[in-house]
Structures are given as structure tokens and as C-alpha cells.
Amino acid sequence: MSAKHPEDLDRLFEQHLNAGDLDALMTLYEQQAAFTAQPGQVVVGASAVRVALQGFLAMKPTMTLDTKVLAHTGDLALLTSRWTLAGTGPDGKPVQTAGASIEVARRQMDGTWLFAIDTPWGLEWSPTAPSNPPS
């Protein structure tokens, strides 16, 4: 299923993550998408996003998202989502975390929407974060 509206991306992300379906998750991202795996750690490109999402899936997570479109103009949309995630850490102990994401979605030539930038950690900033966007 494709995102026909920008807010569909988060609904589909939640669905695919909870199902543990990495291939379906990857259909939500542009080939050169940027993804913040954790504060201060931005990865770019489908291969790097895939590796980062594998880390989330290893937790066998259950995620809920509450999405809002902040701005939408032409082929771009800015979204935010409050989210909660429960899973299992590498040590086998339960993990619970929450945050508020910031995402940029772009309409594709076929009219569907994909993530161009996905920042699950929102405005959290780390001193090790790159000061310049990746090229």
C-alpha cells in the first residue's frame, strides 16, 4: 500500500514496524532519504536507512504514532508525530521510549508520498550532530 496523503506515511510506518516488515518499511523512503537513527546520528541513502531500521526491528517493537501535518505546500509536507515504542533491548530487558518526530515528505511523480527526511527524535540535538547537512 502506498501513501496517498503525507499523513499516511506515519500510519504505514507504524503498521509495517509493528509487523516487523523491513521491506515494507523501505517502500516509505526515497532512495536518498535522510534518517536520524538516534540524536546526532544521521544516515543517508536506502542502504544506510535499511541498516538503521534493522536496529529498531531487532527490538521486536510495538509502536504507536499520533501524526499531525504542520505545513503542506505543493509537493512538500512537514509532519510531526508523537510516538511511543516498547520493545526488548539487546540485554533482553524491556525498553520503553517516546518522542516527537519531525519529517519531510515529498510527493512523487506517481502522486504517492515518501519520506525525504525522517527525524524520529525531533529537535533533540547532540553536540556530535553534524553542523552541515550530509551531501
Query: Is residue 74 a part of any domain in this protein?
Result: yes
Q: Is residue 14 part of a domain?
A: yes
CATH at 16: 3.10.450.50
Domain that holds residue 57: 8-119
Query: Is 62 in contact with 18 (CB distance < 8 Å)?
Result: yes
Domain assignment present for 1: no
Domain membership of residue 134 (yes or no) is no
For 108-126, the three-class secondary structure string (H helix, E strand, C coil) is CCCCCEEEEEEECCCCCCC
Average pLDDT over residues 45-63: 95
**Residue 17 pLDDT:** 96
Domains of the chain: total: 1
| Top-confidence residue, 123 or 61 | 61
Q: Is residue 18 part of a domain?
A: yes
| pLDDT at position 13 | 97
Distance, in Å, from the CA atom of 68 to the CA atom of 37, rounded to the nearest integer, reads: 21
How does 76-115 read in b/e, with b if 16+ C-beta sit within 10 Å? ebbbbbebebebeeeeeeeeeeebbbbbbbbbeeeebbbb
49-57: average pLDDT:
94
Mean pLDDT of 5-34: 97
Residue 89 amino acid letter: G
Tens-digit pLDDT profile for residues 78-114:
999 999 999 999 899 999 999 999 999 999 999 999 9
Residue 77 belongs to some domain of the structure: yes
Stretch 46-70: mean pLDDT: 94
Residue 2 pLDDT > 70, yes or no? yes
pLDDT value, residue 37: 87
Amino acid (one-letter) located at 44: V
Under the phi-then-psi rule, with left for phi > 0, alpha for psi from -120 to 50, and beta for the rest, what region is 32?
A: alpha
Classify residue 110: in a domain, yes or no.
Answer: yes
pTM recorded for the entire structure: 0.88
Q: Is 78 a domain residue? A: yes
Residues 28 and 16: their CA atoms lie apart, in Å, by 10
